[in-house]
Structure 1
Amino acid sequence: MTTKLTQLLNIKYPIIQAPMFLVSNVAMVTEAMNAGIAGCIPALNYRTFDELRVALKELKANKVDGGSFGFNLIVNKSNIKYKGQLEVICEEGCDFIITSLGSPEETIRQAHAVGIKVFCDVTDLKFAKKVENLGADAAIAVNNEAGGHRGKLSPEDLTGILSKELSIPVISAGGVGCKADIDDMISYGASGVSVGSPFIASLEAGVTEEYKQACVDYGAEDIIMTERISGTPCTVINTPYVQKIGTKSTWIENLLNKNRKLKKWVKMVRFSIGMKATEKAAKKATYKTVWVAGPSIEHTKEILPVKDIITKLTN
């Protein structure tokens, strides 16, 4: 299938293996490239700039024709490593950067100077227009079926609106678990899709077998929203532990959030605490099972190699 996305990234299929905190790694992206799609890793998956640089070098060495790789950057103040991460990525080079949670202006300026394309997460037309005017190469339409931090509009509504109003390609993110879903997104006007949750239950994913098996055992009806990870609503699997701790911010967080001066610090603290809890659940067996996933795990029936998951998505 030839679309604007396949042409932009020189890939066989119009699919990006979405960047997932703690889950995505070099092995997953390498297999994605070998199978003819693009793969992306959150820069925050690497604790140091040196580790990030090593990953970039490995992916460049592993790259094949028909595959593509990129990195995801959190571009707001909550990510104190942002500037250093951007510098390393621009020095080493990759095919694209995906920006999230902030203005992509500086990222676009620096990335374009070294020939790296920039795709920007958006949840509405207003912000999509802003990133288009800043020079983004594509908009990633994060809809209300996405895993993690998701938008408010349905895939059909958001993709349809953006594809009509923007001159840059629109990539639909959320609600894709099988080939029929991809066909639907293309019919809504998307040039491609960003797929995350189906790849959690892959052999190459860097998480526990318990997390992977949860994506097999649970389904779309088990996905709920919680504010207990980052302070912003996020989708997780409704495990007994999530039920125990609840899904709403604490009363003191709600109180402090009303203070403009303190609000950003409260969010930074909540983000830090939540990410540490999520990391523990993803990386080792623990009763504190906070597992991020989206409703597209409904189509996940077994743990498979990345290449087999891509075959299911494309055939």
Structure 2
Amino acid sequence: MVWKRDESHLPEQLRGLRLPMIGSPLFIISVPELVIAQCKAGIIGSFPALNAREAEGEPPLLEAWLKQITEELDRHNQENPDNPAAPFAVNQIVHRSNARLERDLEICTRWKVPVWITSLGARVEVNEAAHSCGGVVLHDVINNTFARKAIEKGADGLIAVAAGAGGHAGQQSPMALIREIRQWFSGPLALSGAIACGESLLAARAMGADFGYVGSPFIATHEANAQEDYKRMIVESGAEDIVYSSLFTGVHGNYLKKSVVRAGMDPDNLPSADASTMNFGDGSSKPKAWKEIWGSGQGIGEVTEIVHAADLVDRIDREYRAAGAKLAAEFIG
């Protein structure tokens, strides 16, 4: 028997992926090389618009990145009509301190970005900008209340950021968060939180998510714009090596304990910081003092080597299909 995903409730941009997976936008780390590799491997690749930072007086780097990604994926699709690349996504930080937001919205609209990921605020005008060029908007949320607000303001879909996700993350169990959202929302839904293998991706699908939202494993890839020490720390760490703290940005997130220790702090006794300290005026919410504090989710125990992004997707794909076949045997035997 051949099984096929039901995609009838998804917009066209989100259908037909090789694997129901989105590579999450990683601050500094997600660059065109990684995004292109993810899309060619058959999953949605993404990057934060604020990663594209040009020097004063230079033309917008975001424009150059969108040109590079669009042209390379178009070239790939022309050469591989039977194996087209997945679409890409751009993450917009909708925080009031992001002085670049209006400019970046205009650039993304002009380049007709197919998938928009919005974070730290749901705003009607951002959704309208995406829709004006045929884009679809996924908004990340940490609870059901924020999920309802995002849809009310015009988002097309949601990314449930559960406990264990890398970077800024919520505290709710993915089982609770996904099921509460699915009680009222039937549109596109992705799950973020320690998804680093095919079995976890299958679990996300079983709970009701359409996609797994995968970030930390891609840090340990050759295409990632991360320091080699950072990549090795991902490979050498596991769930118990993650600390959850608000100190570094003002909002709670997950970070590698070893990087905290290396910065001269006790990861078990970190003070708190207020959300009012968050400022994206220079492209990051993280003060320069914390630039060596490295984010990571709890799923990195599955990451055992630094590989190419395509090889990582291949591994998760094999595991996903094997786990699915094994579980299906319980019901169709």
* TM-score, normalised relative to structure 1: 0.87
- Cα offset for 1:159? 1.1
- Cα offset for 1:3? 4.6
Match of 1:274?
286
State yes or no: 1:170 paired with 2:182. no
Q: Runs of at least 4 residues of structure 1 off by over 4 A?
A: 269-273
C-alpha contact 1:231 1:249 (8 A) present in aligned 2 = no
State yes or no: 1:297 paired with 2:303. no
C-alpha contact 1:228 1:274 (8 A) present in aligned 2 = no
C-alpha contact 1:197 1:297 (8 A) present in aligned 2 = yes
Alpha-carbon separation, structure 1, partners of 2:137 and 2:94: 12
Query: 2:64 pairs with 36, 45, 54, which one?
Result: 54
Match of 1:228?
247
Match of 2:321?
none
Match of 2:316?
313
Gaps of 5+ in 2: 78-83, 319-333
Query: 1:117 pairs with 136, 143, 152, which one?
Result: 136
Match of 1:241?
262
Match of 2:89?
70
Distance 1:277 1:203, change over 3 A: farther
C-alpha contact 1:212 1:303 (8 A) present in aligned 2 = yes
Gaps of 5+ in 1: 258-262, 282-289
- Cα offset for 1:162? 1.0
Alpha-carbon separation, structure 1, partners of 2:285 and 2:97: 13
- Cα offset for 1:221? 0.5
Match of 1:103?
122
- Cα offset for 1:306? 0.1
- Cα offset for 1:107? 0.9
Please give the per-residue CA displacement for 1:8-53, whole angstroms capped at 9, x wherever unaligned: 4242211100000011011111111111110010011011461000
Distance 1:191 1:233, change over 3 A: same
More helix by share: 1
State yes or no: 1:94 paired with 2:113. yes
Alignment of 1:1-20 (within 5 A): 2-4=5-7, 7-10=12-15, 11-20=17-26
Alpha-carbon separation, structure 2, partners of 1:104 and 1:159: 23
- Cα offset for 1:167? 2.7
Using the TM superposition, name which of 210-219 and 61-70 deviates more: 61-70
Alpha-carbon separation, structure 2, partners of 1:269 and 1:127: 21
Alignment of 1:18-57 (within 5 A): 18-48=24-54, 50-57=60-67
- Cα offset for 1:231? 1.2
- Cα offset for 1:79? 1.4
Match of 1:284?
none
C-alpha contact 1:163 1:169 (8 A) present in aligned 2 = no
- RMSD over aligned Cα, in angstroms? 2.2
Alpha-carbon separation, structure 2, partners of 1:124 and 1:98: 17
Match of 1:260?
none
* TM-score, normalised relative to structure 2: 0.83
Alpha-carbon separation, structure 2, partners of 1:314 and 1:277: 39
Distance 1:269 1:122, change over 3 A: closer
